[in-house]
Amino acid sequence: MQALLLSGSPSTQNRQGYISEIIVAGNALNHTQTDITFAMLAHLSHQYKKPESAGQWLTWICPTGLGKEALQRFDFDVLGLRILQPKQAPEIPRLMERALAAGNSHTVVVHCQAISHKRLARLERAASQGRCNGLIIRPQ
């Protein structure tokens, strides 16, 4: 598992195919954690404009609906954002694996519980196949 690097410095360019994880304190995102998460994801939604992303999306697999106001407040670029809402939480890892392997996203982000080592290995292979990074945001 690699640390998420958001800058575009030469040392981080073309670093695709990694799964990173952010662990948040508590069982749910509080207001500060939500603001930080949304700001980070909004930044990633603008990455499709960069040559190294070649028009790829930020794919956000989010178990809850997002309002238009939240996206506007954090300046999400909806042209660079694809939001998938799974019907059930157990679908999230499988949906992430498929999104990573598809190759049409620069980053796939999920909110979920802990992922098994076996599933994590599958996600890393899918990320490598799709030349895509994955980000798992989960409670502690």
Tens-place pLDDT, residues 50-74? 888 778 999 999 877 777 888 888 9
Distance between CA 125 and CA 121 in Å, rounded? 6
Q: What percent of the chain has pLDDT over 70?
A: 84
What is the predicted pLDDT for the residue at 53? Answer: 79
- List of residues 6+ apart from 98 with CB closer than 8 A: 126
> DSSP character for 45?
H
For 45, phi then psi, to 5°, come to -70, -15
Q: Are 48 and 13 in contact (CB under 8 A)?
A: no
| pTM greater than the 0.85 cutoff | no
* Other beta carbons less than 10 A from residue 24's beta carbon: 18
Tell me the CATH number for domain 19-139: 3.40.50.300
**95-135 tens-digit pLDDT:** 999 999 999 999 999 988 888 999 999 999 999 999 999 99
For 88-100, write each residue's pLDDT tens digit.
888 999 999 999 9
In the predicted model, is pLDDT for residue 3 greater than 60? no
Rounded Cα distance, 49 and 32, in Å: 28
